[in-house]
Structure 1
Amino acid sequence: MFGGGGMNPRKMQQMMKQMGIDVTEIDAEEVVIRTADEELVFDGAQVTRMDAQGQETYQIVGSPETRALGSGEESADAEGAGDVDGDDGSADSGGIPDDDVELVATRAGVSEADAREALEAVDGDLAAAISRLE
């Protein structure tokens, strides 16, 4: 689980438990880290979750495969699948999220079409789009 510098792993777990750190192994099949321009895909990685005073930390051990964004069938299937807040970028045009369009339309008191135009004109900057419409 950990490389405790030669320390017995059982003793290490006992010490961590005394400090209030809960360690759990996660049986993950695949881990994907998506950055602005690429994906790091870990197949069969070892994943450990540590919960220390309510703060969860994940440790991934393995060798990633690097893929460009949008390449491979899994990135197309997974697009939007991991989004919790519903902001999946499923905008009609320009890649402006529908949530952003709705927010600008509500704040500025304009139609969603006008809000989308303003957001596209300012490259998605919410504050700039609102001030442009007011």
Structure 2
Amino acid sequence: MFGGGGMNPRKMKQMMKQMGIDVEELDAERVVIETADGDDLVFDGAQVTKMDAQGQETYQIVGSPDAVADAGAGGATAVEGDEADDPALDDADDADDGDDGIPEEDVKLVAQQAGVSKEAAREALEAANGEPARAIADLQ
């Protein structure tokens, strides 16, 4: 609409203000998107922008989800609370790990997102030092 590729950001803000569009950067630490299928997306440290255009609010999230959590019984997500300090949860996580220490849910996530077998997903996770996002990127 504007050809904003080379436009001065200050001039862009002026034009948006004249059109009744307010833009605000939010200082968000964590964003959680709860999906209907229970695979919730968790963004830590994402850049969040709120745009208000004639009373209609729009939020933009820039970043990649750091984790995908399955909703547990009772609707609680696996990312709620501070699980890192809960030894009972540490034991439960170990049960899901294969011989290589990679959680089964990470293997399923990579396999689903990259459209590969679980074996290929596990190999990619091993090569990516257990980082699901990097493993998915490497497979695509």
- TM-score by length of structure 2 reads 0.48
* Bigger radius of gyration: 1
- TM-score by length of structure 1 reads 0.50
Higher helix share: 2
